[in-house]
Amino acid sequence: MGKLSNILFAIYLLIPTVLFAQLTPMERKVLKTANSLFDKEQFSEALPLYLKIDSVEDDAQVKYRIGACYLNTKYEKLKALPYLEEVSQLPSIQVPVIVYNDLGKLYHYTYRFDDAIEMFEKYMEKSKTDEFAESKDYEFAKRMISVCLNAIEITTQPFKADIDILGAPINTMESEFCPMITADEQMMVYMQALGLGKIEKPIITLMVSARQPDGNWGNPVKLEIESIEKYKNNDILLAGLSPDGQSIFLNIGEGLNQDIYMGSIASNTIIGIKKLNKNINTPFYEGRASISADGTELYFVSDRPGGFGGTDIYKSKRSRKGDWDEPINIGAAVNTIYNEDSPFMHPDNVTLFFSSEGHKSIGGNDIFKSKVSDGVWSEPENLGFPNSTKDDLYFVLNANGQTGYFSSSKNNIYNKHKIYRVSLKDPIPLTLVKGVIKAGTPALPIAADIKVYDKQTGVRVKYVYNPDAETGQYLMIFPPAKNYDLVISSEDFLPQLLNVYIPYQTYFYELYQEIHLQPIELGNGIVGEVVTVNNTFYDLYKTAEADSIITEDSPKQPKYYDHLLELIENIIETTDTLQKIYTKKPIDKPDPAKNMDALLNMIEEAIETTDPVTLSILDANAKQKDKIKQTHFYTEGDKEKSLVTTVVGGDTIYTAPPIKTNIGQSNFEKISKIKKEAEVVKEAAFKTSSPEDRKYVHRLIIYYDIDKDEIPLDMTEKLNGICKLLVDNPLLGAEIYGFTDSQGAEKYNLSLSRQRAQKVLKYFLDQKVDYQKLIVKGYGETHDHIHSSDPKYLRKVEINVFELKGLEY
Amino acid sequence: MRTNRIIYSLSVVLLVCLFSNPVNAQYSEYEIKAAYIFNFAKFIEWPASKTNPDTIVLAIYGPDPFGTVLEKTMIGRKAQGKDWKIIRTNTVSELDRCHIVFIADVGKYETIQLIEKIKNKPILTIGDEMMQFCEMGGIVNFTPQFSDQQFEINNDVAKSKGIFISPKLLLLAKIISNKEDEF
C-alpha cells in the first residue's frame, strides 16, 4: 500500500488541474464521483467509472488513474501496464518517479526484462533529484535490476526437463498448492484453497492422493483432522511430509503466529497431532518443515530474531532422548535478508531445495538448491526450469531424482496455484531396492537388522537402518555396477550374508526383494533353516528403450544433461550411503493391464501349429523372479556351530554360508547353474563319502526290547519327519547303524543288529527315500558304554542325518 | 549342426522383430504359466465324468505363487466351452472333484505322497519346476527358464488315469517315461 499512496500523492502534486472540455454534464458528474472514490482509495469502485470516461475522453490523468486503480487490485495488476506505459511516454507529462518502478515490476512480470531494467534504471536516476523518493524504493529498483539480469541469464538457458501441469483429478478450477510426496512417489498430500478470488478468506483443505497402477494420481480425498475443534479459529496448513509418509507436519496458528505440529495419517485422517517442543516453536512464526530420510534432522522455517532477515531456514537434530534440540540457523550461504521458505531435504540427505526471494531469483520466490558437505552449504543454484517471475514454491523430488513436483501461480491472474510435475528426460543409473523380510509359516514380518557393505572396498555403508518391525519392509538406494554384501541379523535365525549385484545400467531400476526365513522343524527341535530370496527387477523404462540404451559389453558413460542429475551423483560420490526410507505402501508393483487374450491366443496357436520357436521366445522374454532358495542345516543341531566366518572390510563376521543372488548373471550362467545343481545332486556320493565330509545335523536313536527288531510304533512320527527331511533335501543323507546289547552269541547279535538296521532301511525306502542316500550297517554288540551300561540303552538303531560337505552349487 | 543353430538363431531374431507384440511383450513368469495351464485344458481330454460337466476345476495345492493372475486369466474365459473354477487347498480330499492340480512349493516328500494318494483319479498333476516331478509320477512339469522345452510330460501316467493328451502338446514337451518305475 505504501507505494500506491506514493503514486496518489505524486499525482495530486504534479497534475493538479485538468480541463475536460468535451465531457457532457452527466460525464462530468461521473468523473467527479470517480475522483472522490479514488481519493477515498475505493479503487475498485472508481475503476469502472474511469474506464467509462476513458472511452469518451483521451486524457492522460484518467489513464494514469486507471493504471493506479489496476495496480491496486488483487488480481488485475497487469492490466495497468498499457495505461502506465502510455502515460510515461507522453513528453507533455511529467510522471511521478515511482511509476518507473511500478512499470519495471509489470515488465518483469511479463518477462520483458530489458524494458524492466530500463525502467528501474530510470527510477534510480530520476529519484536522486526527487524530494518524495524513498531510499527503500531505490534499493528495490537496484535489487530488481539484478533480478532481471538473473532472469535473462536463467530463462535463456535450455532445460532438459518436461514440465506438465497435472490434470484432473488433482488440479481443479480452485487453487492447488504445496504438493508433497513420499520418496517412492506413491502418495501425495497437498493443499487446496477453495474460493480464491471469490471470497475474502479462502477455505484451505488438506488433500491426499495415491498413485494408481497406471501411473496417474487417483481421486484425491480430503484429509480430516482429529479433534479439529481444538484448533477453532486457527488456520491448519500443510507444513511437511516425511519421505516414508509416516509423519505429516502441520502449521497451526492464527495469521502469522503459526507453529509446527506433527501427526500421522491413518485412513485419511491426521491423528496423534502433537505440537513440537519449545526449541522448534517460539512466539514467532514457524512454517514449513522437512525431515531427513533417517528421521534425525528437521529443517524448518522461522522468523525468530537472530536470523538474516525475513524468514530463514533452521535445522534441529533429534537428541538422544528423541526430542528436538536447540535449532541452528543454517547460515548465510542459504539464508538471505529476504524470505526463505519451503525447505525440502532430498532423501539423499545432501541436497536441500528451498525457495527464496533472494539469491539469483528471477522474481518473487524461486526454487533453489544447495548441497551440504561437512556442514558447509554450497552456493544456492537457481533451479531454472520451474521458476517463473512469480512465486514458485514447494519443490519436492522423488528418491530417484527423476520426478519433481511444485506449485506455481504462473499464468493465473487470480494467483491460483496449480501443481506441476517435472520429468527429467535422462534416466538415472540407480537401483531402488524395496524389500520385505518375513519369517515362518504363514510368513509374518520380523524385526531384523541390515548392514550393508560395498564388497569391492569392504567399506561398511554408513547408515544402518532396520526394517520396520511391523511390516518387515525396507528400502535402499544403490548405485549400479557394484557388489554389495547385505548382512541380515534377526533374533531366531542365523545371520544371513546376501550378496547382491546391481548390474550396470544407464537407467533407473527398481528391485523388489522378498526374503523369507523359515525354520526346519523336526520333532520338537529345529535342525536348520531355509532362506528364500526372491528378486524381481522392474525397469522403469520400456524394454525397447532400455535395449537401445544398454550395450552388454561396453557400458556407455551415462550422460548427465541436466544439473538435477548431479543430485544422484551425489549419492554415489559424496556419501555413497545407502538411504533407507520406510515405506508402508504396498510395494508389490501391480502390472499394468495386459492383454491376456493375446498371450492366450499366441500359446494356443503355437501348440496348434506345434511351433516351438514362439514358445522359446516367450520363455526367454518372461519376466522372471530371481528365486534363490538356500537351506542351512545346523551342525549337530546347534545353531552357533553353523556359522562361517567372512571378512568384510577388516571386520570378521559370522554368518550362515553366503547366498549369491543371480542378479547380473547371463542366461548362460543361469542355465549352467541349474544344470550344475542337477549334476551335483546326481553325483552326491553318500555311501562312499568319508566321515569327515559328513556334517551331522540330527540324530535319532530307537531303542528295542530284548531280541526284537520291529520299529516301536511310537517312533513313526519321528521317522517320518526324518524321511521328509531326506526326501526334500538332495544333499542330506543318513547313517542307519544297528546295535545290540551284549547278551547272547556275538554272531547272532551281529545278525540281529543288521536286521534292526534293515527294518529301518525298509521303512525309509517305503517313504521314498533314495537308497543311495542311506548308509546301513549292523555293528553287533554296542561297545560304547560311556553313556550308560544299562542294556536297554544298548539295544538300538542310531540314525544320523548328515549333510555332504563341499557340495555347493 | 552348426548351420542349423545359425538358422535357428536367425529365425529367432527375425521372429523377435516380426512379433513385436505380444511375443516381445514382457509377461511375468506366472502370467505365462497361467496361460499355459489355460491352453493345456484345450489340448487335454479327461474321461467323461458325472460331476462338473460344464466346469474345469483347477486346484492350487500348497502355497500359491500366482496371486491374482489365475483369476485374471481364467475367469470369464472358457476352454472347450467350459468355465473355470479355481480352488486353493492343502487337503487331499478336496482334490477329488478337480481336473487339474497345480503343485508349487511343497517339497518332494509331500508331492510324492500327494501323487500317491490321487494315483487312481483322473487328475492332471502339474508341477512347478520341481526336479524329478514326472519321474515321481507327476504328469506335467514346468521346466526352468531357458530350458530346451518349456514343460515336460509323463504320458504313461496320463494314460494310466485315462487322460488323453494331444500329440501336438506332446511334440512340444520333453517326454519323460516311467518305464523304470521301480528301483
Asked whether the beta carbons of A740 and A751 are under 8 A apart, the reply is: no
Q: What is the pLDDT of residue A711?
A: 92
Whether residues A144 and A181 share a domain: the answer is no
The answer to the question of residue B15 being in a domain is no
Confidence of residue B163 (pLDDT cuts 50, 70, 90): very high
Asked if A613 is an interface residue toward chain B (Cβ–Cβ < 8 A), one would say yes
Give the 3-state DSSP-derived string for A434-469, with helices as H, strands as E and coil as C: EEEEEECCCCEECCEEEEEEECCCCCECCCCCCCCC
pLDDT digits (tens, 9 = 90+) for A328-364: 999 888 998 888 988 998 877 788 889 888 887 777 7
Using CB atoms within 10 Å of the CB of residue A645, give its burial: 0 to 12 exposed, 13 to 18 middle, 19+ buried.
exposed
> Reduced to 3 states, what is the DSSP secondary structure of residue B89?
strand
Residue B128 belongs to a domain with what CATH number? Answer: 3.40.50
pLDDT digits (tens, 9 = 90+) for A589-598: 444 446 788 8
Q: What is the pLDDT of residue A160?
A: 64
Chain B residues with CB under 8 Å of a chain A CB are 8, 11-12, 15-16, 19, 21-29, 31-32, 35-36, 38-39, 42-43, 72-73, 77, 107-110, 112, 131, 136, 144-147, 149-150, 166, 168-169, 171-172, 183
pLDDT, greater one: B161 or B179: B161
Residue A336 belongs to a domain with what CATH number? Answer: 2.115.10.20
Whether residues A353 and A495 share a domain: the answer is no
Q: What is the pLDDT of residue A61?
A: 83
Q: Which amino acid is at B35?
A: A
Confidence of residue A247 (pLDDT cuts 50, 70, 90): confident
The answer to the question of residue B117 being in a domain is yes
pLDDT digits (tens, 9 = 90+) for A474-502: 766 666 566 778 888 888 888 888 887 76
What is the number of structural domains in chain A? Answer: 4
Range in A397-406, A560-569, A765-774 with the lowest mean pLDDT? A560-569
**Helix A43-56 vs helix A60-71: crossing angle, to nearest 10:** 150
Residue A69 belongs to a domain with what CATH number? Answer: 1.25.40.10
Q: What are phi and psi of A404, to 5 degrees?
A: -120, 160
Whether residues A616 and A542 share a domain: the answer is yes
Confidence of residue A553 (pLDDT cuts 50, 70, 90): very low
Nearest residue to A418 via CA among A243, A191, A235: A191
Does B146 score more than 50 pLDDT?
Answer: yes
The answer to the question of residue B148 being in a domain is yes
Confidence of residue A763 (pLDDT cuts 50, 70, 90): very high
Nearest residue to A565 via CA among A425, A373, A433, A432: A425
CA distance A72 to B130: 79
The answer to the question of residue A262 being in a domain is yes
Highest mean pLDDT among A302-311, A548-557, A610-619: A302-311
- Record the pTM: 0.53
Asked if A713 is an interface residue toward chain B (Cβ–Cβ < 8 A), one would say no
The answer to the question of residue A679 being in a domain is no
Q: What is the pLDDT of residue A802?
A: 92
Q: What is the pLDDT of residue A548?
A: 31
Using CB atoms within 10 Å of the CB of residue A590, give its burial: 0 to 12 exposed, 13 to 18 middle, 19+ buried.
exposed
Q: What is the pLDDT of residue A413?
A: 61
CA distance A310 to B180: 88
Does A566 score more than 60 pLDDT?
Answer: no
Range in A280-294, A454-468, A703-717, B168-182 with the lowest mean pLDDT? A454-468
Whether residues A400 and A468 share a domain: the answer is no
Do A724 and B22 count as a contact with CB atoms less than 8 A apart?
Answer: no
Q: What is the dihedral of CA B61, B63, B65, B68, to 10 degrees?
A: 80
pLDDT, greater one: A398 or A417: A417
Do A613 and B15 count as a contact with CB atoms less than 8 A apart?
Answer: yes
Omega cis (within 30) before A25? no
Q: What is the pLDDT of residue B52?
A: 66
Highest mean pLDDT among A16-30, A135-149, A513-527, A765-779: A765-779
**Helix A135-155 vs helix A113-126: crossing angle, to nearest 10:** 160
The answer to the question of residue B62 being in a domain is yes
Q: What are phi and psi of B112, to 5 degrees?
A: -60, -45
Asked whether the beta carbons of A727 and A736 are under 8 A apart, the reply is: no
Nearest residue to A560 via CA among A433, A424, A406: A424
Q: Which amino acid is at B164?
A: F
Whether residues A458 and A411 share a domain: the answer is no
- Give percent of chain A with pLDDT exceeding 70: 79
Confidence of residue A807 (pLDDT cuts 50, 70, 90): low
CA distance A489 to B16: 45
Mean pLDDT of A277-298: 87
CA distance A794 to A789: 7
CA distance A482 to A576: 11
Whether residues A25 and A144 share a domain: the answer is yes
Pairing of strands B151-153, B140-142: antiparallel
Asked if A90 is an interface residue toward chain B (Cβ–Cβ < 8 A), one would say no
Q: What is the mean pLDDT of chain A?
A: 78
The answer to the question of residue A677 being in a domain is no
Does B100 score more than 90 pLDDT?
Answer: yes
Which domain does B82 fall in, by range? 27-175
Mean pLDDT of A641-667: 70
Which domain does A21 fall in, by range? 2-155
CA distance B126 to B129: 9
Altogether, the residues listed in chain A come to a count of: 809
Whether residues A408 and A451 share a domain: the answer is no
Q: What are phi and psi of A632, to 5 degrees?
A: -110, 125
| Chain A residues within an 8 Å CB radius of B18 | none
The answer to the question of residue A675 being in a domain is no
Q: What is the pLDDT of residue A188?
A: 92
Does A83 score more than 80 pLDDT?
Answer: yes
- Cβ-based neighbours of A244, under 8 Å, separated by 6 or more: A182, A183, A293, A581, A582, A583, A584
Does A9 score more than 50 pLDDT?
Answer: no
| Chain B residues within an 8 Å CB radius of A596 | 31, 35, 72-73
pLDDT digits (tens, 9 = 90+) for A289-336: 998 877 788 999 999 988 888 899 999 988 877 789 999 999 888 998
What is the number of structural domains in chain B? Answer: 1
Does A470 score more than 90 pLDDT?
Answer: no
